[in-house]
Every structure is written in structure tokens, then in C-alpha cells.
Amino acid sequence: MAIERRRFLQAAGVGAILGLSGCTGDTSPPQANGGGAEGTEESQSGSGATQELTLATTTSTYDTGLLDALNPVFEEKFNARVKTISQGTGAAIETARNGDADVILVHARGAEDEFLREGYGVNRRDVMFNDFVVVGPADDPAGSSGMESAADAFATIADAEATFVSRGDDSGTNKKELLIWEAAGVEPSGTWYREIGKGMGDTLVQADQSGAYTLSDRGTFLATQDNIDLEIQVQGPLKGGPTILKNPYGVIPVNPAKSPDVNYSLAMAYAGFLTSPEGQEIISNYTANGSQLFFPNALSEGPQFGQYVPENYDGGENASSSASVSDAQFESWVTQHVPEDF
């Protein structure tokens, strides 16, 4: 299994993946190093073998640089090495489903729920959130700027046949985009609609070069804003926009009963780190161009049982009711965690 996983990771590209995930299947809990010199000396002395963890994650956590702030801290605390596969959420989930990742950090709750229902993931936790925004050229040829409905903005872009660049990669952003087209009653096609199969950063650059519209998570847009001329045309719920543009992130360890070779203990440690006060503080303090990119939401005084299981796990078939509860929860997160002057 280890050899197969090494080949998989190398084939995925050295730019996004650093090497082999040494998933050992070890069920003994990883030990965190001490915060002082003693823990550092033990780590450097080689008295304990460094464990390796494979993280499959959405491109937004990678493109924004957030993982560069989180992972080194985790690695030092747990004498571990994190190998990151940066890809769209759909591909990340498929990687984990195939047993080629130990843990996933993604942002498409519907796809996450399916992953949980199928038994491939366990112990899902809310980690953080931001939102999506509709961006486009400053001259706004379609006239979508300031619209209160993302679906109306998409319909306007389609009616004008203004160029729209789609990630087209089954990512969380792509899934959200398709949901908005459905709400707009539009099946996008034609020369004005370009599916490029790229990550968020590349999609923003290509949209900028083409004078096109696209859907972006706010974090990646803010992180690349200095390098592009696109402007936000429709705001997300962080700034009073429609809730359909919500963007929550979850972490899910891979079920060792499905994939016995995963490093489940270290995956659980990683999920625990991201949702700990320390991990949440790192997320909260991470900024680009003077703006906070993600808002942590793992810590709560009251129980949040819904994060662990699919949203309609109670067996109810009323999808609209489930969506309403999810929207209300997201709105409460915005109220609690997003400053009024954001």
C-alpha cells in the first residue's frame, strides 16, 4: 500500500505534493512535543520517528497560504511531516475515498455528507468559514454590479453572453457555481462560458486576463487582489450578500475500517489541532492585504452535534428545512465571528 501511495503522490505533481505519505496504520496516539527546549531537543535528536500525514485539501487553503501558517506548528508539536495534495474538493474527496489520504480539509457540505454516509469519513468537524463572491471586470459589461441575488447576477451575465470563466473541476467552488446556475434557471454553454479545469488562483488570473466574470471564494480573491484588476460585483453573506454564497470548511479523518493503512491517529490529531484554541487562533490571525481570510468556528459554548453527521442524518426528507437550518447556522456564525467593520 505504501508503494502504491508513493506512486500516486508523485504522479499528482511535485508542485502540489511533497512526497510519500507514510501511512502506517498505527493506532497508538501521537505524542505532542513539549513547548520548551526539552521537546525541541527530543524532536531533533531522532529518538522518535517522524510520522507522515497526507492531507488532501481544496486549493483555497493552499493558494491563500493558510496551510503555511498551520502545518509547521502541527509538525513541530507532533514530530510529524504533512504531505499536502492541493486539488478541488471533489478530487480531494475521491483521493481519500481511494485510501490515498489520511484526512481531508474541504468546503462542499453536500459532498462531505455523501462521503460520511458512504462510511469513508468519520468524526467530521467544522473548522472555519468565509464566503463566495461574484467578481468581474471593473467596467462590468453585463451590469451585474450591486445585485442582491447571485442567481440574478448569473442570469444577467448569461443574457449578455459576457465571458464567464468556470473552474470546471468538481471543486467546492465549482459545485457552488453550478448550484447558482441551477437557481438562475440557466444551463451555461457557448463560447462565452469557459471551463478551464484549474484551481482558484489560476482561474482568477485567467478571468482577469480575459476580462471575464467568475465565482471565487473571498479568501483567494483577497490574497491575489494585488495581482489582478477584477472587482467584487456581488457580495457574499459576510458583507450582507445572499446566504447561497456561504462557504463553510470541514475537516474529516478517513475511516480506518474502510482504509486500514491510513494514519488514523495522526489524522485525528490534525483534526484536533485545527479545531483547538491554538489552531483556531492561527486561522483567526491569518491575513492577506490587511484582511482576515477565514473565520474560525470550531469552538462553541453549546453542543454543535450537526457538524459530525450528514445534515439530514435524522432520516428526514425535507431538504428545504435542512437548508434553512444550515443557512440560519451560518448567519449566526457571521453575527458571532465577523466584525461589523469587516
Same domain, 136 and 110: no
Domain containing 222 — which CATH number? Answer: 3.40.190.10
Low-confidence ranges of the chain (pLDDT < 50): 1-27, 35-47
**pLDDT confidence of residue 320:** 57
Structural domain that includes position 84: 51-130+248-313+320-337
Same domain, 183 and 286: no
Same domain, 331 and 283: yes
The number of domains in the chain is: 2
List the end-to-end C-alpha distance of the chain, in Å, as a whole number.
Answer: 47
Same domain, 81 and 126: yes
- Residue 306: HSE in the Cβ half-sphere, 13 Å Cα cutoff: 13
Last residue of a domain, one of 201, 223, 244: 244
- Say if 2 falls within a structural domain: no
Q: Summarize pLDDT for 38-71 with one digit per residue, the tens.
A: 443 344 334 489 999 999 999 999 999 999 999 9
- Tell me the backbone φ, ψ of residue 57, rounded to 5 degrees: -145, 160
- Say if 172 falls within a structural domain: yes
Torsion over CA: 94, 99, 100, 105 (sign)? positive
DSSP conformation letters of 11-56: HT-TTT--S--------SPPPPPPSSHHHHHHHHHTSSPPEEEEEE
Residue with cell 505532542: 32
C-alpha cell of residue 316? 428526514
Mode of pairing for the β-strands spanning 287-288 and 295-296: unpaired
Same domain, 115 and 162: no
pTM of the model: 0.85
Same domain, 146 and 239: yes
Residues 6+ apart with CB under 8 A from 50: 79, 80, 81
**pLDDT confidence of residue 312:** 74
Same domain, 234 and 284: no
Same domain, 238 and 140: yes
